[in-house]
Amino acid sequence: MSPDLQGLIARAKAVDGQPPFSDQALVDLRAGIRTLVHLGDASAIVGEGEAEFVVDPDARGRGQGTAMLERLLADAGDDDLLVWAHGDHPAARALAASHDLEPIRELLQLRRPVPELPSAPEPVEGPRSHGPGPSTSSGTVGPFRVGVDEDEWVALNARAFAHHPEQGSVTRADLEQLEREPWFDADDFLVLRDVIGHRETDPDDTPMIGYCWLKVEDGIGEFYVVGVDPARQGGGAGRALMSAGFARLAARGIHTAALYVDADNTAAVGLYRSLGFKTYSIDIQYRHRAR
Q: What is the pLDDT of residues 220-247, one digit of tens each?
A: 999 999 999 998 887 888 888 999 999 9
Same domain, 35 and 103: yes
Q: Residue 198's pLDDT band (boundaries 50, 70, 90)?
A: low
- Give mean pLDDT, residues 160-187: 89
- Give the C-alpha separation, 270 to 178, whole Å: 28
- In angstroms, rounded to a whole number, what is the distance separating the alpha carbons of residues 121 and 220? 21
* pLDDT-derived band at 271, boundaries 50, 70, 90: confident
Judge if 132 and 103 occupy the same domain.
Answer: no
Model pLDDT, residue 291: 75
Between residues 267 and 251, which one has the greater pLDDT? 251
Residue 15: its pLDDT value, please? 92
CA dihedral sign, ordered 224, 227, 233, 238 = negative
Task: Answer whether 131's CB lies under 8 Å from 289's CB.
Answer: no
Stronger pLDDT, 49 or 199, i.e. the higher one: 49
pLDDT for residue 196: 58
Whether residue 129 is predicted with pLDDT greater than 50 in this model: the reply is no
Q: CA 27 to CA 29: how far, in whole Å?
A: 5
Residue 128 has pLDDT above 50, yes or no: no
Domain C-terminal end among 107, 138, 168: 107
Same domain, 99 and 206: no
Residue 285 belongs to a domain: no
Domain check: are 68 and 122 in the same one? no
Q: What is the pLDDT of residue 126?
A: 36
Specify the pLDDT at position 203: 57
How does residue 201 score in pLDDT terms, banded at 50, 70 and 90?
A: low
Decide: helix, strand or coil at residue 289. Answer: coil
What pLDDT is stored for residue 158 in this prediction?
94
Q: In this predicted structure, what is the pLDDT of residue 2?
A: 85
Based on the domain organization, do 208 and 224 belong to the same domain?
yes
Among the ranges given (110-114, 188-192, 203-207, 263-267), the one the predictor scored with the smallest mean pLDDT: 203-207
Regarding whether 127 and 21 lie in a shared domain, the answer is no
Is the confidence at residue 202, as pLDDT, over 70?
no
Domains contained in the chain, number: 2
Indicate if 21 and 132 belong to the same structural domain.
no
Residues 91 and 132 occupy one common structural domain: no
Domain extent at residue 243: 115-254
Any domain includes 288? no
Domain closes at, from 107, 135, 157: 107
Residues 180 and 53 in one domain: no
Q: Based on the fold, state whether residues 51 and 127 are members of the same structural domain.
A: no
Average pLDDT, the chain: 88
CATH number at residue 24: 3.40.630.30
Indicate whether 200 belongs to any domain.
yes
pLDDT at 110: 97
Characterize 207-229 residue by residue with b for buried, 16 or more Cβ atoms within 10 angstroms of its Cβ, and e for exposed: bbbbbbbbbbeeeebbbbbbbbb
Question: Which of 206 and 289 is assigned the larger pLDDT?
Answer: 289
291 lies in some domain: no
Domain assignment present for residue 137? The answer is yes
Instruction: State pLDDT tens for residues 13-52.
Output: 999 988 999 988 998 898 899 999 999 999 999 998 999 9
Length of the chain equals: 291
Q: What is the mean pLDDT of residues 156-178?
A: 88
**Would 283 be classed as within a structural domain?**
no
Nearest to residue 158, comparing CAs of 147, 149, 171? 171
Residue 279 lies in a domain: no
Q: Is the pLDDT of residue 263 over 50?
A: yes
Last residue of a domain, one of 88, 107, 126: 107
pLDDT confidence of residue 194: 84
Q: Give yes or no: residues 132 and 225 share one domain.
A: yes
Domain-located, residue 203: yes
Q: Helices marked H in 103-209 — which ranges?
A: 150-160, 172-179
Is 162 in the same domain as 120?
A: yes
Q: What mean pLDDT is predicted for residues 59-82?
A: 95
